[in-house]
């Protein structure tokens, strides 16, 4: 498979290290559903795969060699959508999740917002908001006071389905 080399974005501030990631919305495993994350050098950084079937309530976040780091479970019976992430090797029914994502909708605005809580397993909760604009095929992650953490724009490049150019500001 060819390496993916996204365009390098120029840093707007010298106080933050920026990294650009390209998310290829395809699985590396035949017959599986997932995506692959590449760094700015075209190397695989993470993989997300669902080995069961297309509409499973569980996916796995893995490192570049396929070691499962987190299991992400969709909570059942939640109308708006809610997911919890657990470290690999923990009992999903008993352990505290590492992170939780709750989806809310802006019905009149045509966009959606996800509230993201991380650090739950160590009682070091940090909260972020992910704003998703489906018409623009873009999203951004912000801190509670609105400071930008990351942003991404979807692009169709050479017939590939790529969600690309994630710019990490922190």
Size of the chain, expressed as the number of residues it contains: 170
**pLDDT surpassing 70 at residue 111:** yes
Model pLDDT, residue 18 = 76
Structure tokens at 104: 């809310």
Q: What is the dihedral of CA 154, 156, 158, 164, to 10 degrees?
A: 10
Model pLDDT, residue 127 = 94
Going by pLDDT thresholds of 50, 70 and 90, the confidence category of residue 86 is: very high
**pLDDT surpassing 50 at residue 3:** no
Residues of the chain above pLDDT 90, percent: 24
Model pLDDT, residue 168 = 53
Tally of CB atoms within 10 A around 41 = 10
Model pLDDT, residue 61 = 93
| pLDDT tens by residue, 52-76 | 666 678 889 999 998 999 999 988 7
Over residues 17-24, mean pLDDT: 81
Q: From its phi and psi, is residue 144 left (phi > 0), alpha (psi between -120 and 50) or beta?
A: alpha
**Which SS3 state, helix, strand or coil, does residue 152 take?**
strand
Lowest mean pLDDT among 33-37, 84-88, 158-162: 158-162
Radius of gyration of the chain, Cα coordinates, nearest whole angstrom? 17
Q: Could you tell me the domains of the chain?
A: 19-168 (2.40.160.200)
What ranges make up the beta strands (E) of the chain?
Answer: 19-24, 33-38, 44-50, 58-63, 68-74, 82-87, 99-106, 111-118, 126-133, 138-142, 148-157, 160-168
Over residues 125-144, mean pLDDT: 86
Average pLDDT of the chain, as a whole number: 77
Over residues 34-57, mean pLDDT: 84
């Amino acid at each position: 498979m060819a390496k993916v080399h996204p365009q390098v974005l120029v840093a707007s501030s010298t106080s933050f290290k920026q990294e650009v990631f390209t998310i290829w919305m395809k699985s590396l495993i035949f017959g599986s559903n997932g995506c692959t994350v590449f760094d700015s050098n075209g190397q695989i950084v993470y993989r997300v795969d669902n080995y069961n079937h297309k509409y499973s309530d569980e996916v796995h976040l893995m490192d570049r060699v396929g070691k499962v780091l987190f299991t992400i479970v969709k909570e059942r019976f939640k109308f708006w959508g809610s997911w919890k992430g657990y470290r690999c090797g923990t009992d999903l029914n008993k352990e505290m999740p590492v992170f939780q994502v709750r989806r809310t909708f802006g019905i009149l605005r045509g966009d959606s917002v996800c509230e993201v809580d991380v650090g739950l397993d160590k009682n070091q909760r940090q909260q972020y908001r992910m704003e998703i604009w489906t018409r623009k095929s873009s999203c951004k992650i912000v801190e509670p006071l609105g400071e930008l953490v990351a942003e991404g724009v979807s692009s169709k490049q050479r017939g590939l389905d790529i969600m690309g150019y994630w710019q990490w500001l922190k």
